[in-house]
Amino acid sequence: MSVKEISRNKVFGGWHIQYTHQSDTLNCDMRFAIFIPHNATQSNPVPAIYWLSGLTCTDENFMQKAGAFGKASELGIAIIASDTSPRGESVANAEDYDLGQGAGFYLNATRQPWANHYQMYDYVTEELPNIVETNFAVSNIKSIAGHSMGGHGAITIGLKNPDQYRSISAFSPICNPINVPWGQKAFSTYLGDNRDSWLEYDSVELLKKSRSVLPILVDQGDLDGFLTEQLKPETLIEAANLNQSPVQVRMQSGYDHSYYFISSFIDEHIQFHAKYLFAD
């Protein structure tokens, strides 16, 4: 599948490049960004971290604010940031910030009119990696990470596809969406009233069902304004403890929900993933 370059910036010896492409999965034009480190060549493809952003974000938020390129360049890791939803005039939308465009929740919608475009789970797990591995010096060795809604996406996708990823990390993830307002609103809209279908997109429920075979690192700020009502990391800890899943949740004192928080610990997350991306 062809991709069209729309911007390019050299950074830490590598390149940050934005592309658009026609998505067969989402039935619309999509944009993503990729950081390609200086050592990536066709004969030496590099492993990758796929980043999923939160509500209202695009591919630009993480790439511009997280400060991830220095460590990624040092270690020789590509970073791919997808958009958070399908976009366009023909794509269903909502007036609320936490639903519709910018709020795809990384699931496959089954209700109309959302099902026509909102197939973000398939896009992240199938179409986007195929595009990246076909067009760039990036291998199929990959990990997944994200923030807030994207943290929810990273954990659920990683748990459901342990053969595709080496490790999972998240900042401030929506841990138990079936029991919080953001998740209940999105799931009832995209998936309908059958709550059994919601369980497949809930990190806590997935961890209750089976032990994670992938290592998971979660950072959460204790001054996050969404901590109590929307994020509930204690539910993730409880679920992980049921069958001794390798989940580390770190509560970081004084930090909030912002990219100031992410940029403070992103190097540690990249180093965490590197341990598994470069393992034999």
Which CATH number covers residue 127?
3.40.50.1820
E strand or H helix at 20, and its extent? strand 14-23
263 Cβ contact list (under 8 Å, min separation 6): 65, 66, 67
Enclosing domain of residue 240? 4-277
pTM above 0.75, yes or no: yes
Q: How many CB atoms lie within 10 A of CB 148?
A: 25
Task: Report the domain count for the chain.
Answer: 1
Q: What is the pLDDT along the chain (280 residues), one digit of tens a residue?
A: 689 999 999 999 999 999 999 999 999 999 999 999 999 999 999 999 999 999 999 999 999 999 999 999 999 999 999 999 999 999 999 999 999 999 999 999 999 999 999 999 999 999 999 999 999 999 999 999 999 999 999 999 999 999 999 999 999 999 999 999 999 999 999 999 999 999 999 999 999 999 999 999 999 999 999 999 999 999 999 999 999 999 999 999 999 999 999 999 999 999 999 999 999 7
User: H helices of 162-202, where?
Assistant: 181-191, 195-198
What is the predicted pLDDT for the residue at 269?
Answer: 98
Which sequence positions are flagged as catalytic?
A: 148, 224, 257
Per residue in 127-171, pLDDT (tens digit) is 999 999 999 999 999 999 999 999 999 999 999 999 999 999 999
**For residues 213 and 247, is the Cβ–Cβ distance under 8 A?**
no
DSSP state of 24: T
**For residues 234 and 182, is the Cβ–Cβ distance under 8 A?**
no
What is the predicted pLDDT for the residue at 170?
Answer: 99
What is the predicted pLDDT for the residue at 1?
Answer: 65
